[in-house]
Amino acid sequence: MSTDSNNPFDLAAEAARVLAEHTGVNRHQAAVVLGSGWAGAADELGDVVADVELGDLPGFPAPTVAGHRNLARSVRVGDTPVLVLGGRAHLYEGHPVSTVVHGVRTAIEAGCATVILTNAAGGLNPAWQVGQPVLLSDHLNLTGTSPMAGPPPPPDRPARFVDLTEAYSRRLRSLAHEVDPSLPEGVYAALLGGAYETPAEIRMLAGLGADLVGMSTALETIAARHLGAEVMGVSLVTNAAAGLSESELDHAEVLEAAGEAGPRMVALLRGVLERL
């Protein structure tokens, strides 16, 4: 199958075809994208069917950020075939937005009607301790770009003006509350990243209604909703946002906090996948 390298939708379809060849699974039902420090969840979610290096799939760069894996894993959670992406691309690495959302577009081309996006985030709510998982109820896309900008989608795809009124599925959030009734919900602010925010920026974000801040997720959510997938977002509070504690922000501590919360995260993700 030939693809137009300038058409990101064709590239995603080609990546899905190669994924099916490598895994022997023609269609997956759900996808899980693992954020910083969550990679170990790929080992615990379900029965492993096959592993593929992300770099072996068309359009996927190998992850460069610590805490991400160069891994696409096909697992079965009960009767549900699930695609687990152990890493993601970020704008701050210099990738174009089409590369940042390539994973979710590929997952949807591979059959995934549900996309679960996870991330490590700074918490603006002082009531949330490090290690607290938070369901995303909405987001602020402050990255300065969108997967819907640029050339229009091809005629066989939906129009670019996707409705984001319910960016994060109420149904999936209800399933998550069945698994863990104590989960709070919050608004995630997505920034370009590459450096942590200043205290002044955190005060600005709080004034805009943000509860969490990070460097991913929102663009993937837009791309997934454009193609009709339901999205659930989960942030793990791995640090207090800048100016809200005496500690300096450090990526190693983010990874440590994510690792310590691993069992709770796996239980949540697995519980939701079992209820689909």
Written as six digits, the tokens of 79 are 């009767």
Tokens 């659930």, residue located: 232
The dihedrals phi and psi of 202, each to the nearest 5 degrees, come to: -65, -40
Give the residue, 210 or 55, on which the prediction is more confident.
Answer: 210
Tokens 């995934």, residue located: 112
Pairing of strands 185-191, 212-214: parallel
Model pLDDT for residues 119-178, shown as the tens digit of each residue? 989 999 988 988 899 999 999 999 999 999 999 999 999 999 999 999 999 999 999 999
Active-site residue identified among 53, 93, 185, 197: 197
Is residue 44 part of the annotated active site? The answer reads no
Mean of pLDDT values over 70-76: 91
pTM above 0.85, yes or no: yes
Average pLDDT for the chain: 89
Q: What is the pLDDT of residue 252?
A: 65
The CATH superfamily of 8-275 is: Nucleoside phosphorylase domain (3.40.50.1580)
Measure the CA–CA gap between 102 and 135, rounded to whole angstroms: 23
**Cβ(234)–Cβ(268) under 8 Å?**
yes
Model pLDDT for residues 14-72, shown as the tens digit of each residue? 999 999 999 999 999 999 998 866 667 778 899 999 999 988 999 998 766 554 567 89
